[in-house]
Structure 1
Amino acid sequence: MHMSDQREIAAPVAEVWAALLSADTLLACVPGAKEVTGNADEGFEATVVQKVGPVKATFKGKVDLSNLVEGQSLTLTGEGKGGAAGFAKGGADVTLAATESGTLLTYDVEAKVGGKLAQLGSRLIDGFAKKMADQFFTNFQTALEGPAETEDAAEETSSEDGGEKKGLLKRLTGG
């Protein structure tokens, strides 16, 4: 299964890059993540609970980062085992480019599943994988930009804190 998409994130490239390499950010953004440990140099280990159709499983896996070109691109490769439910493995090539309003993040994902998951059919699996990728990048964008605000909430926020939105990374680093 193959997916490609891009997101415009209202944050500087350096901030987006740092978030991609942060276990705390990944924990906050990966749907169903219960634990994410490790670092960009040695890789991350994760525990993720997901339900795909009638199959619910706890996946334990490892994600490695390679081809790192600081502030520009990286490759994520990972594999998770969900016991009797099967396995999921794949990779993503992620590129970052500065834009007038922040960072354009582009991703190209390749994924495979096996075991009971593979028996669910490619249509269900493809739809689930696309939903997971979309949810991750929506969560990632929200973590960096802060939640989308309605006009009333934006007015209240601007009077309370000088109009700054604080995303997850800024809250974590106190920035």
Structure 2
Amino acid sequence: MDFKGSQQIGAPREKVWQRLNDPLTLQQCLPGCEHYQQAADGSYDAVIVAAIGPVKARFKGSARFSDLREDLGYRIEGNGSGGIAGFGKLTADVHLEDRDGGTALSYAATAQLGGKLAQVGSRLVGSVANKFLADFFARFEKLVSQSEDIASP
């Protein structure tokens, strides 16, 4: 399953980059996120509660950021398991560029699902994923555009 899109964010690219690399910002912006913390190996452990149609579960997983290009973008590789609900794997490339007095964030992602999640159908999963992304970007835009700069990670 592939996803791609872009979002205009009303903040300078440096500030968007800074916030995209801040664990507290990401925890606040990820819908259903109960836990998001850096692990000893540099990856991030997360717990997210999500419902996809009749399947609702607490997903425990991790994300690793690679190919970091400061103020330009990175690659995210993540996985999560919701027990009996199934599992998911994600690879996403994120790119930032200056545009219209703010920052254009574009992404291209590929997701793989297994278990009950794979049985509910790609159309339903796709619509839930698009809502998740819309909620994330709405929260991110609000937080980034209204807040002060944070200390560099």
Same fold (TM over 0.5): yes
Segments of structure 1 that go 5 or more residues without pairing to the other structure are 146-165
Q: Does structure 1 conserve the Cα–Cα contact (< 8 Å) formed by 2:9 and 2:102?
A: yes
Q: Which structure shows the higher strand fraction? A: 2
| CA shift digits 1:124-174 (9 cap, x unpaired) | 1111112112221222111111xxxxxxxxxxxxxxxxxxxx23xx2866x
SS in 1 for 2:31: coil
Partner of 1:132: 132
Q: What's the counterpart of residue 102 of structure 2?
A: 102
RMSD (CA atoms) = 1.6
Q: Which residue of 2 aligns with 1:11?
A: 11
Seq. identity, %: 39
Greater length-normalized contact order (CA 8 Å, ≥ 6 residues apart): 2
Looking at CA atoms only, which structure, 1 or 2, has the larger radius of gyration?
Answer: 1
Number of residues of Structure 1 aligned to a counterpart in Structure 2: 150
Question: Residue 28 of structure 1 aligns with which residue?
Answer: 28
Equivalent residue, structure 1, for 2:61? 61
> Following the alignment from structure 2 to structure 1, what is the Cα–Cα distance between the partners of residues 116 and 8?
36
> Could you tell which deviates more after superposition, 104-113 or 130-139?
130-139
- Matches of 1:80 and 1:54 in 2, distance apart? 18
Distance 1:171 1:71, change over 3 A: closer
1:141 is paired with a residue of what secondary structure?
helix
Local SS of the residue matching 2:129: helix
Structure 2 segments unaligned to the other structure (5+ residues): none
Shift in Å, 1:108: 0.9
- Kindly indicate whether the alpha-carbon contact (under 8 Å) linking 2:52 and 2:117 is maintained by their aligned counterparts in 1: yes
| SS of residue in 2 equivalent to 1:97 | strand
Aligned-partner Cα distance in 1 for 2:8–2:131: 18
Structure 1 counterpart SS, 2:76: strand
- AA aligned to 2:61 is G
Match of 1:42, SS state, is coil
Structure 2 matches for 1:33-44, cutoff 5 A?
Answer: 33-38=33-38, 42-44=42-44
Which structure: greater helix fraction? Answer: 1
Which whole-Å CA distance do the structure 1 matches of 2:130 and 2:7 have between them? 14
Q: 132-141 or 18-27: which moved more?
A: 132-141
Query: 1:125-164 alignment to 2 at 5 Å?
Result: 125-145=125-145
